[in-house]
Each structure stands twice: as structure tokens, then as C-alpha cells.
Amino acid sequence: MSTTFTRLRTAAVAALTAVALAACGTSGAGSGGGSESTGGTLVIGMTAAEIPGVDTVLAFTQGFEGERFVNFQLYDGLTRYDLRQDEEMPGIVPGLATSWETSPDGRTWTFHLREGVRFHDGTPFDADAVIFAFDRLMNQESPFYYPKAAGAARLWKGAISSYAKVDDRTITITTAEPNGHLLTDLTLLTIPSPTAVRAAGNEAFSEHPVGTGPFVFSSLEPGKQLVLTANKEYWGGAPKIERLVLRPIPDASARIAALRSGEVNWIEYPNPDDIEGLRQAGYTVLQNDYDHLWYCTFNQASTGWSDVRVRQAANYAIDRRAIAEELLKGTAAPALQHAPKATAVYDPANDLYGYDLDKARALMREAGFADGFRTTLTVPTGGSGNLVPVPIATAIATQLRAIGIEVELRTVEWSAYLADLNAGKPAAGADMQCASTVTYQAEALVRGHWTKGTPVYTGNWSDDQVDALSLKATQTIDPVARVELYKQAERIVSEQAPYLFVVSDRNPRVVAPSVHGVIAPKSWFIDLTTVSVDRR
């Protein structure tokens, strides 16, 4: 068996995501830095409309914000992201596995498990716990197989064909084909306490979830707040704060009001118009580029969008600079292709669409739509990574009107949007659906965007060459070769324009002067163990 050391695997993931970009605002030291005292309570106003699911992968019910603040705080996976730096896209580092190696054919991975780790209920972490967690998601013969969790994990578990215990500290995972993003997938396949699941049952486990993560479940008030406490015995180093309180506040103005009143001391995504006033009032605004795309999927089963010239025309008709700089006040950057600039897959040669109304109108005439057509667009009212979705969608509708496309705007709650997406159908039956996505930091999602039969395929567009290139990339372990294959696929995606590329977020969040030690990584995720809060 040929050994592939952790450092090489970290480099492999970083090669897909890393790019030399300076931070676009205050990062780690920007939250004050000074206080190293422990204790205090961090209260976060999330963009989520509801408390994310507290049972491992069910945190994804509120998108990647759920993973960020719930899954990765209560639980650990075999691997995790390096979130304690803010200068490069985070690579993969050891989690509950300390090292791993691969077989010569790249299909069998052997993981060596961390010693001395216990779940919050005292249960020792070992190979049996990993097998139990995987059985829950992948073994329909297991008495604790959980279809709801299996469905939520379908993208992340999809590469795994089998797994086995070697001894108490070693497991193997086998994939049907070599898989270059398995280590990324494993960050999201977190491990619950088998003792707690057996005692409560799958459904009731959410009433008192138990993991190995940096925070321990304390209480849950549905729709109001989730309270966690610091795991003083955390193997990765105990958090500095005593308590973490998560509150769903989907309205941006309400989040800011909660911050100013002291109800919360951290908010995700402020109204862009309010950022300068918050700075002047003494709050710290943190932001950084990351793997984010705000885009619209064209449903090519609907009028107009089946013609590539119409899709290209729409992309030429959008003034992304105005959206990024005027509407969003520099908290986002124009996106001219599917691959965000903060990824190694980004190739400036694939930026095909500047703002050009003359070209857009010519393409509409060429496609036989000189007089335009009517279409519908669905957008969530808020949610993970979605910025200010209704104003952005309104701007898009106004700009498309300039080439004769009349847009009927529909809005839905984020949970309803995700439910339709996860069912593989357009949100609210619309001709266009617009929201945010991660790309190469959760690489299993990439093929799902455009491959028939994948769980989140909704646009009815596919291309045999793109499918072949992206499948080959998935099956390529070498990171440099994998990036080049994805770049080729992205070129075709740019030319075929199955999406309206809009902006990439810079991940703004605001913290009170009492909050220190926040590292704002180039990631959807964050390490809260470094954060401290002044005691009142």
C-alpha cells in the first residue's frame, strides 16, 4: 500500500481552493485581538429562518450556515478544514483521524483514528463509533439506519462503496472509483455518540444531541435559540467562551437592531447600507473572499432559456459592477463565470461576459426574441450566503427588462427553497431560481450543478463533454491535473451559460467591541474556539 501523507493531502485540497488574494477587510486581528480571557457568552444572529438541525448532517436544513454554526460546533468528522488562518483558502487537516494513506489504485483509504477522545456523554471514540455513524447513513440493514440523515448526506457519502473496521483505531473506506474529493466529503460526515443514538433513537436524538465537538448541547427553543456550552475537554483545545447562543434572525435590519441593542454581539451579513455606520459606531466589520457564487439557474424546459443565445444575452445584460459596488457597497465582487476567483479552478480566460447591452440585444434578435418574452424568477427571502436576495433579484429583473425580458419575481422562505432544490425541482416551479452556492470547497456539489440524475440538478441543462471532464476530474487524485480538467469543463459552462453569473460574496459579518480573536477565513466555515468575549 503506497502511503500518502497528511501534508500531501492538505496540499491537494488547497490546490483546488487556494489563491493568493489579500484579505478584503479586517480579519483575525480585526475583532480587537486584545483579550485572551476566558468566559463570556457569544450570541450570534444568524441569517437562518430557523434553528438548523442539530443531528449531524441535518444541520444542512439551513444550508452551509447550519454546518458552520451547528454541525461543526457539536461534532467532528474524520477530517476538517484548517480555519485558523485567513490568508489562503483552507486545506484539509486531521480531525478524528490523525493520518491516512491510500492504496496504489486510489480506491481504498486507511484512516488512523485519534486516541483519547470522548464524546460529550463520556463514550470513548473508536472505530466502532465511525462504523455506527456510517451505518446510520449507508447501511439499510442497520437497526439505526436513518433515511432522513441518509438523504441529507447523499452528496457527501456518494463516493463511498464500502467501509470496514480494521482494529479499534483503524478503519478503511473504499470508493467505487478513485475519488479526489473524499477528504472534503468526510468533513461533513460527522460522528454522533453511538451510545446516545441507541438510547434515544434516531428521531429523539435531536432532543439531546451528543458529539465530540468543541461545544456541548445545552438547550433548544425551536424558532428562538440554541444554547451550547464550551467543551472543556475538547481534543482540539477548549473554546475561550463559556456559552454559545445561536439565534435565527432572517431579516437583516432586525439583526442590526439586535446588535445595537446588545441582544446579540455578532451578526452574519449586515445590510450593506448600514456597514459604514456600524464601523463609525465602534463595531468591527470582518470580511474575506471565499468560494461563493450568487447565481441564477435557467430552467431550460421553459420558454426562451433553452436557446444558448438567450442565456448569453441575459449574461451580457447584467451590470454586475453596479450590483456589487452600488447595491452591495463592495461587500461582493462581480462574478463572470461559475468558478469563483477564490478558487484555483478560476481561469480569467473563462470570463466571457462583460456588460454589453448592444451585444445582448443582437443575440435576442438572432434567437428570434426581438420583442422579448415573459419569465418567472424565484428567490429566497434570506438564508445562508444569500446576501440581500430580493434587492439583487429586483435589480436583475430591471436590467433584463432592457432586452425585453419581463420577469415576474417570486419569493419563498429559505427552507422551502432548499426543499425544492433537494427534491431536484425548480423552486416554486419558476423559470429561473437564484441563490448562493459553494463550488470547489464542497467539490461533490460541482457535478450536481449540471449532471442529470444528481440530487440538486434543476436546470435541465447538460453537456456530454462537461460531464466527461468533471467525472474524470472527480476520479483524479492528483490536484494539479484535477484543476486543469475542471478548467476545461468551466470553459464550456461559460460558453453555454446555463446560469446567470452575478456576484461572489466577501462574507461580511459584524461583531461588538466586546468580541475578540475572530479569524475570518476564506471559507464558508469558521473556528469559534479562538473567540473570546469580555465579561459583563
* pTM of this structure: 0.89
pLDDT value at position 138? 98
Q: What is the CA radius of gyration of the chain?
A: 23
pLDDT value at position 532? 98
- Whether 69 and 44 have beta carbons less than 8 Å apart is answered as yes
- Whether 293 and 335 have beta carbons less than 8 Å apart is answered as yes
- Whether 48 and 67 have beta carbons less than 8 Å apart is answered as no
pLDDT at 37 over 80: no
CB hemisphere CA count around 181 (13 angstroms)? 27
Gap between the Cα atoms of 295 and 290, Å rounded: 15
Residue 470, phi then psi, degrees to nearest 5:
-75, -35
pLDDT value at position 111? 99
Lowest mean pLDDT segment, chosen from 127-131, 253-257, 436-440, 528-532: 436-440
Neighbours of 93 (CB within 10 A): 18
Q: What percent of the chain has pLDDT over 90?
A: 81
Amino acid letter, 110:
T
- Whether 72 and 239 have beta carbons less than 8 Å apart is answered as no
Q: What angle do CA 374, 456, 269 make, to 5 degrees?
A: 80
- Whether 39 and 241 have beta carbons less than 8 Å apart is answered as yes
Residue 347, phi then psi, degrees to nearest 5:
-130, 115
Lowest mean pLDDT segment, chosen from 306-310, 318-322, 360-364, 438-442: 438-442
Q: What is the CATH number of domain 293-505?
A: 3.10.105.10
Q: Using the CB atoms, write b or e for 350-368: b if 16+ within 10 Å.
A: bbebebeeebbbbbbeebe
pLDDT at 18 over 80: no
CB hemisphere CA count around 480 (13 angstroms)? 1
Average pLDDT over residues 364-377: 97
pLDDT category, 455, cuts 50, 70, 90? low
Average pLDDT over residues 192-213: 98
pLDDT category, 415, cuts 50, 70, 90? confident
pLDDT category, 3, cuts 50, 70, 90? very low
- Order of all β-strands in the sheet with 499-505: 332-334, 499-505, 293-298, 432-437, 373-380, 405-412
- Whether 189 and 157 have beta carbons less than 8 Å apart is answered as yes
- Whether 71 and 59 have beta carbons less than 8 Å apart is answered as yes
pLDDT value at position 31? 56
Helix (H, G, I), strand (E, B) or coil at 214: coil
- Whether 292 and 504 have beta carbons less than 8 Å apart is answered as yes
The mean pLDDT value of the chain amounts to 91
pLDDT value at position 82? 97
- Whether 387 and 323 have beta carbons less than 8 Å apart is answered as no
pLDDT tens digits along 104-141:
999 999 999 999 999 999 999 999 999 999 999 999 99
Gap between the Cα atoms of 197 and 457, Å rounded: 32
Q: Which three cell numbers stand for residue 245?
A: 447562543
- Order of all β-strands in the sheet with 170-175: 97-102, 108-113, 170-175, 160-167
Q: What is the CATH number of domain 6-269+508-533?
A: 3.40.190.10
Cα-Cα-Cα-Cα dihedral sign, residues 246, 251, 254, 255: positive
pLDDT value at position 429? 80
pLDDT value at position 62? 87
Choice between 361 and 62, residue whose per-residue pLDDT is larger: 361
pLDDT value at position 383? 83
User: How buried is residue 4: exposed, middle or buried, by Cβ count under 10 Å (0-12/13-18/19+)?
Assistant: middle
**Strand pairing partners for 293?**
437
Choice between 475 and 18, residue whose per-residue pLDDT is larger: 475
Gap between the Cα atoms of 128 and 193, Å rounded: 10
Q: Which three cell numbers stand for residue 493?
A: 459552462
pLDDT value at position 444? 85
Question: What residues does each domain of the chain span?
Answer: 6-269+508-533, 293-505
Gap between the Cα atoms of 406 and 409, Å rounded: 10
pLDDT tens digits along 459-494:
788 899 999 999 999 999 999 999 999 999 999 999
Gap between the Cα atoms of 155 and 444, Å rounded: 6
Gap between the Cα atoms of 267 and 388, Å rounded: 14
CB hemisphere CA count around 320 (13 angstroms)? 23
Pairing of strands 266-268, 243-248: unpaired
Average pLDDT over residues 523-528: 96
Gap between the Cα atoms of 284 and 361, Å rounded: 44
CA separation, residue 318 to residues 130, 225, 306, 347, 399 (Å) = 48, 39, 19, 21, 6
Average pLDDT over residues 227-243: 98
Gap between the Cα atoms of 328 and 294, Å rounded: 12
Helices (H), 18-109: 63-66, 72-74
pLDDT value at position 426? 78
Residue ranges with strand state E in 365-470: 373-380, 405-412, 432-437
Q: Using the CB atoms, write b or e for 70-89: b if 16+ within 10 Å.
A: bbbbbbbbbbbbbbeebebb
pLDDT value at position 16? 55
Through-space distance between the first and last CA atoms of the chain, rounded to whole angstroms: 56
DSSP label of 10 = H
pLDDT value at position 389? 94
pLDDT value at position 452? 75
pLDDT at 5 over 50: no
pLDDT at 200 over 70: yes
CA dihedral 522, 523, 528, 533 (to 10 degrees): 50
DSSP label of 533 = E
